[in-house]
Structure formats: C-alpha cells, structure tokens
Structure 1
C-alpha cells in the first residue's frame, strides 16, 4: 500500500516553510536573499512563504528583514495554559524562589526533550525570559532526569536512540547503562540531581510531577554550586520541593 503524506516524511512545502521560520529565529531576523542562500532554495519560493506567514501574523517585516511575529506568542500562551500542571506549578515556582532565593523552574517534556515552561530567577543575574520555551536534552537536566525516570522503559530507549547522550561538561552522563542505573536510583529516592552536568559550577535538584499516575513534568531549583551544595539540595531544597509537589497534588485533586 502506498504511503500518504502523514505516513512518510511529510509534505515538502510544509518542511520548507518551517525551515524558513527556524532560520529566521536562528539569525534573529533575515532578508529574502539571506534566507534563500542559507536554505539553498529559490528567492521566489522564500518570498511566497514569507507572504503567507506575514498574512497570518507569523512574521513581520522591518526594513528589508523579516522577524518572527507575536502570533507565535499567542500560540505558545495557549499551549502552556492547556497543561494540567501549569497554573498550580506557576504558583509553586514563585514560592520556591521566595523560599530558597534560587532559580526555580516548572519543566515539562515533549518529543523527547525537556521544555522550560515557567521560571523565576532568584538571586542570580540571569534573565529567565531568554530560557523560557527552550528545549534541552533530558539526561543532563535535573527536571529532565526526574521525568525520564518515570517514563516507560521503551520510551526512554527511544529518546536515547533518537537524541543521544551528548556531553555538556565532563560531568555529563554519556553512557547508556550508567544513565539507566541513575534513573533507577531517582525512582527509588524520588528526586534527581544535576551536579554541574549541564553547566560548570551550576547544580540543581528536580522532583517529578505526576497526574493520575502519569508523569507530566517536574519542579527544579538551580543555582551556583557554592550555594547549591549536594547537602543543601538533598536537605532544605528537597523539603521545599516536596511541599510544593504536595500542594500541586492537592490542587489538582480538587480541581
């Protein structure tokens, strides 16, 4: 039986359109000629896609350059509002920042990546708005590891096969069996650590958020290693995280 578009690689024109969107984002704005050269497609094709995107409010033109439009923000806000854990998780993150003084995050997952849904910066010179919405590998992220530990084994295998275990620092787990051993430990202890596995000098702890027995996301707290020692993570910070997850559970139960 011949495969249709949904069963094969997809529709080529759609792939081209989204290549253009991603290239505009990567370049922080670009003109028709730049996009055509970067993607090796005809300028007429680029212009046609840009016209469609502009008509839908998905790109805007400033001078000779095209930039992504705020319509994407509308879509993102809608998607985030549909998450079961978002509203209660947002309040929990606000409290975690106030209680710990550290960067606090609500994280979910999609397509094998961890996604920062909501965050607060704590006493750090970091603009969390530049991180919100970004997708990262799960194996070097405390919230990501907390999520991975509660996914079915076959899904974890698929994620590792698809995305690999790239190193971010010398502390990143890059061995499959070592990762699986740590995921088993996370399931037993109920929390995951990131000990400078993503960024040198930054440590974090994450706990899973379960809804009706299914993993929906994670809460995490992160900060510089001199403040976020392993002992503090597994003591004071973990207590705050567990209290936050208990409150989220209660909120969802009576929703």
Structure 2
C-alpha cells in the first residue's frame, strides 16, 4: 500500500521518482513489481524511472532487484562538506571521543529533523556507520533540542505541526507547552539534556553550534546512564563540549 505523504505543488513524475528512491532504501532493494504494487503505479512507469536512475549510477541492479547506488554517497559527501562546521566539527568529535570514551556526534538539521552527519562510537557496542545519515525527531535528541532552542519560535511551531511530538520512551516530551518550557531552559543555560528520552538507559548532552548567529548544528555526547549520570553530563562532559564549541567558533571566525 502506498504511504501517506505530504504533497505540494511539485511535478508528479518527480514525486514518483523520489518515492521509488525512498522505497528502495526502506526495503533494502526491490523489484519492479514490488515497487509498482507499493506505489500503486504502472510497472512500465517504475521501470522507466529505474532505468534513468541506473544509467546515472543512482541505482544498481542485482539479479531481479534494484538497490541504491554509490552515487548517492558521492552527493552525500559533497553536501556534508558544505556545512561550515563540518571540518572543525569532525576534529572536535574525534577529540571528544578520546577525552570521554563515549559516543560523540556532530548533528545537523534539515526539514525539521536532526541528522547525524559524523560520529564516533567510544566505549559502546554500537556501529556508528549504521546511524550516519539517519534523520530523527528533534524533540527527544539532545543535539536536536539544542538546535530547536535556537530556532525562531514560528519555525519550531512549523516543525511540531509537521512532525508532531511522538513518544520514544515514557520520558519523551510530547506536550507543546512542556517542550516550549524546556527550550527556554536550554536557551538560558546553553545546553540540552536527553535523560532516557530517546532510548531507555541512555543519557546525552548537546550544545548548539552557530555560524553568523544562525544555529547550523550541534555537538552531543551520549552513553549508558550508569556512566553518563546527570552530574557527569553537567560537569566534566559539558565543560569539554563548551571548549570544543568555542574552538569551532574561533576556527570559523579566523579561517
């Protein structure tokens, strides 16, 4: 069955093409018939789009299935490199991992979602490569909340209208008024906490990264709650995050 999606005033054929791309990612590869059935379009239409994508390297065919191609990786690398904070943020993530031995992320935002653009795993049994590029709701992510707190109020309203405030755990903020109060607190103190709001038993802390007064990204450190206590987050970890953010600011200012 075709997924419900927001539709604007775009070109129908373009929408179908991107629907195909999204389905290939969601299904981890699919054949023409499966795609046509899920999207409720003719097999000839699906095949035509796949042929174009294949000719340009955006999909590859393995047996009877099509999969996303490495050309997307090339474009993703280019886009990531366009972030003003990326290069200095990458070095900051590497250093923070060595200093804290915890998972560290550089998180950007687009379309009202937080996006993991670079990370290191620390002393955690997690493969960060499976998370890179993933987009998540901002209201339960420490880096996402740090970003939200520094966006204009009307933009925050649009993000909540579009994506809602779904619960991930019993600690997730799902009420607009509570979120507004939390964002005000974050603005006042300069950092955001995630105390088992995304995953039970995992704590994180994030600080915003701004360029010319606009928030572009965030740095966050995460780990199991027994190591990442609230006291440690607001003490040692926050001190290191603030030092890293200050260094990134100086690097951008004097490049």
Alignment of 1:94-133 (within 5 A): 94-133=94-133
Count of aligned positions: 249
Task: Determine the C-alpha separation between the residues in 1 that align with 2:40 and 2:245.
Answer: 49
Task: Report whether the alignment pairs 1:210 with 2:229.
Answer: no
In structure 2, the residue matched to 1:225 is 225
Task: Determine the C-alpha separation between the residues in 1 that align with 2:36 and 2:43.
Answer: 5
TM-score, normalised via structure 2 length: 0.96
Task: Determine the C-alpha separation between the residues in 2 that align with 1:106 and 1:121.
Answer: 12
Deviation at 1:9, TM superposition (A): 2.1
TM-score, normalised via structure 1 length: 0.96
Task: Report whether the alignment pairs 1:169 with 2:149.
Answer: no
Deviation at 1:210, TM superposition (A): 1.0
CA deviations on 1:110-167 (whole Å, 9 max, x unpaired) are 1111000100000001010111111111000000000000001111111111111000
Task: Determine the C-alpha separation between the residues in 1 that align with 2:129 and 2:215.
Answer: 25
Deviation at 1:41, TM superposition (A): 1.2
Deviation at 1:34, TM superposition (A): 1.1
Task: Determine the C-alpha separation between the residues in 1 that align with 2:205 and 2:109.
Answer: 17
In structure 1, the residue matched to 2:250 is 250
SS at match of 2:252: helix
In structure 1, the residue matched to 2:145 is 145
In structure 2, the residue matched to 1:63 is 63
In structure 2, the residue matched to 1:155 is 155
Task: Report whether the alignment pairs 1:179 with 2:205.
Answer: no
Task: Determine the C-alpha separation between the residues in 2 that align with 1:8 and 1:194.
Answer: 34
Task: Determine the C-alpha separation between the residues in 2 that align with 1:152 and 1:23.
Answer: 33
Deviation at 1:37, TM superposition (A): 1.3
SS at match of 1:161: helix
| CA-atom RMSD in angstroms | 1.0
Task: Determine the C-alpha separation between the residues in 1 that align with 2:156 and 2:63.
Answer: 46
Task: Determine the C-alpha separation between the residues in 2 that align with 1:206 and 1:175.
Answer: 21
CA deviations on 1:75-132 (whole Å, 9 max, x unpaired) are 0000000000000000000001000000000001111110001000000010101111
Mind listing any 5+ residue stretches in structure 1 that lack a counterpart? Answer: 1-6
Deviation at 1:8, TM superposition (A): 4.9
Could you list the structure 1 runs, at least 4 aligned residues long, displaced by more than 6 angstroms after superposition.
none
Task: Determine the C-alpha separation between the residues in 2 that align with 1:137 and 1:229.
Answer: 23
In structure 2, the residue matched to 1:4 is none
